[in-house]
Amino acid sequence: MPTPPPEPHLFVVFGATGDLMQRKLLPVLYSLQASGKMPEGSRILGVARRPLTDASFRALCTSALQAAKSGSDKLIQSFVQERLFYQSVPTEATADFVALRQRVEQIEKASGLSGNRIFYLALPLEAFGPTITGLGEAKLNPAPGWTRLVIEKPFGRDLASAQALNTLVHRYFDEGQVYRIDHYLGKETVQNLLVFRFANMFIESLWSRERIDHVTITVAESLGLEDRAQYYESAGALRDMVQNHVTQILTLVGMEPPGSRDEDSIRNEKVKVLQSIVRLGPHDVVRGQYTSGTTAGQPVPGYRQEPGVNPQSDTETFVAIRLKIANWRWQDVPFFLRTGKRMPVKTTGVTLTFKAPPVTFFQTAEEYRSNPDRISILIQPDEGFELAFEVKVPGREMRVQTHRMKFHYADVFGPLPDGYETLLDDVILGDPTLFVRADEVEESWKLYDPILKSPPPLAFYPAGTWGPDAAQTLVQEWGQRWYYVT
């Protein structure tokens, strides 16, 4: 069935003067306009506490778009003057949200809009509740047309807070109106996991316990805090990366073929993966924190020396987890997850390592273990796939060497769109497939909540390395090794 055309709407961004809006969302909205994906007649209303006018907000956005090199000055000016408006909501009082509703209705009437609305919460977690309550109490939902609520991660800090937030959301919005956004799900390579697996019979036939020895998922960042100390001190790597980005990749790797392409069939299978994971214990998790070291040839301070960080901070900047999925496809196949800051390189990828042959004629069993066949999914920065396999080196002697067969998206399709662009396009079209459902959020928190309540002690690692030695021990105890997807 063809996708219906997008409908004109009012796109309301809460947190419109913040970093996410100015650095990410605004250039993406401009790009959607330039590519014809933003319906003609649609308008964008920025909302924040600052007492700006339409003119001063437009000037702020013009500077941001020029800094991002989004387009020519003429096209940028046309975009901001025709599309952008601003409304200050200085407090959480219902009266301020009633004033917002009046401004929304005024813009809709002047622009000939039918009342279709998108509310995007580009806000810190603690502001979600008051904003959702304000929208509901001011009767901004239901609208004359359709309404969609987009919520940025993190969705809660633990299971209890996630459940409370879901309860609050559902007081004013139906689940079908809610789009919990994780920008990793907008990446082409993450989405292509479904095509790679389910459109290639020979791949899917290998994707199980009969052929796969173990799976590693790595989300590595080479940077440190980058002025995010206040947020990161209260979050840490487990909340910031594992519960959302890493777990989303895990569910797509581990899911069963959905019965159809509709959004609930796909999301149902992701939830089943989470429900099948064997409960984690403290011995299955390593928490790390970087100390001073060297990154890209430059000395860098340790986490506790970063501006705004408690000198005795117990916040983890690295997490490694081992787990098993107790179902027919993955029984007894180890999955190893890790993420960290101040790693040697920035890279995100998945490696599925195949089992060794029961008898090998060309190498000893130990030699083969160091070079097994592997499939790697490269998610960033160089999106694509690699298949590592053994070949004979030309010559009389029987010498074996690992070779990599590579497919990189950029070589075939050129630059890929930003993940946010893909996801905002889906919001405009009303396609929730790539967004996280309420039960998926809660199942994910159930998995990690015991670790948050009883965290293992920190293990330290020098900046510029692949994490603490304990992370190596974690996989070696199960007879495996990490693979570096670079």
Residue 180 maps to a domain: no
Same domain, 108 and 236: no
Encoded tokens for 181: 């956004």
CATH number of the domain enclosing 255: 3.30.360.10
Q: Which of 109, 137, 152 is the last residue of a domain?
A: 152
Mean pLDDT calculated for residue range 108-132: 96
Same structural domain, 301 and 197 = yes
pLDDT tens digit sequence for 354-407: 987 777 666 665 555 557 788 998 888 888 888 887 777 787 777 777 778 888
Task: Say whether pLDDT at 241 is over 60.
Answer: yes
How many domains does one find in the chain? Answer: 2
Q: Are 130 and 198 within one domain?
A: no
Token couple for 470:
């304990």
Q: Which domain holds residue 357?
A: 185-476
Same domain, yes or no: 125 and 252: no
Contact present, 321 and 284 (Cβ < 8 Å): yes
Confirm whether 408 is domain-assigned: yes
**pTM confidence score:** 0.91
Same-domain status, 250 and 102 = no
d(CA 353, CA 334): 11
d(CA 148, CA 176): 8
Residue 60 predicted with pLDDT over 60: yes
Select, from the ranges 19-23, 96-100, 259-263, 404-408, the one with the highest average predicted confidence (pLDDT).
96-100
Query: In this structure, is residue 364 part of a structural domain?
Result: yes
DSSP state of 257: P
Residue 318: count other Cβ atoms within 10 Å of its Cβ.
32
Alpha-carbon distance of 125 to 411, in angstroms, equals 39
Residue 481 lies in a domain: no
Distances (CA, A) of 389 to 6, 114, 370: 45, 57, 12
pLDDT single digits (tens) 150-190:
999 889 999 999 999 999 999 999 999 999 998 888 877 77
Answer yes or no: is 485 within a domain: no
End position of a domain, from candidates 152, 174, 199: 152
Residue 166 domain-assigned? no
Same domain for 333 and 453: yes
Check: CB of residue 478 under 8 Å from CB of residue 356.
no
Give the tens place of pLDDT for each residue, 427-483: 999 999 889 999 999 999 999 999 999 999 999 999 999 999 999 999 999 988 887
- Same domain, yes or no, for 80 and 148? yes
Q: What is the pLDDT of residue 474?
A: 96
Residue 484 lies in a domain: no
- Percent of the chain with pLDDT strictly greater than 90: 71
Q: Give the CATH number for residue 34.
A: 3.40.50.720
Judge contact between 422 and 429, C-beta under 8 A: no
The reply to whether 168 falls in a domain is no
* 318 secondary structure, DSSP code: E
> Are both 379 and 247 inside the same structural domain?
yes
Closest by CA position to 135, among listed 111, 151, 159, 124: 151
One domain, residues 389 and 444:
yes
Q: Kindly tell me if the per-residue pLDDT of 340 is higher than 90.
A: yes
Q: What is the pLDDT of residue 403?
A: 75
Instruction: Compute the distance between CA of residue 319 and CA of residue 241 in angstroms, rounded to an integer.
Output: 9
Based on the fold, state whether residues 198 and 90 are members of the same structural domain. no
Choose from 62-71, 256-265, 375-384 the range with maximum mean pLDDT.
Answer: 62-71
Answer for the pair 469, 328: CB distance below 8 angstroms, yes or no: no
Mean pLDDT for the chain overall:
91
Max mean pLDDT among 177-191, 195-209, 238-252, 254-268 falls in 238-252
**446 and 362 fall within a common domain:** yes
Residue 92 has a CB neighbour count (10 Å cut-off) of 14
Residues taking part in catalysis: 245
- Domain check: are 262 and 197 in the same one? yes
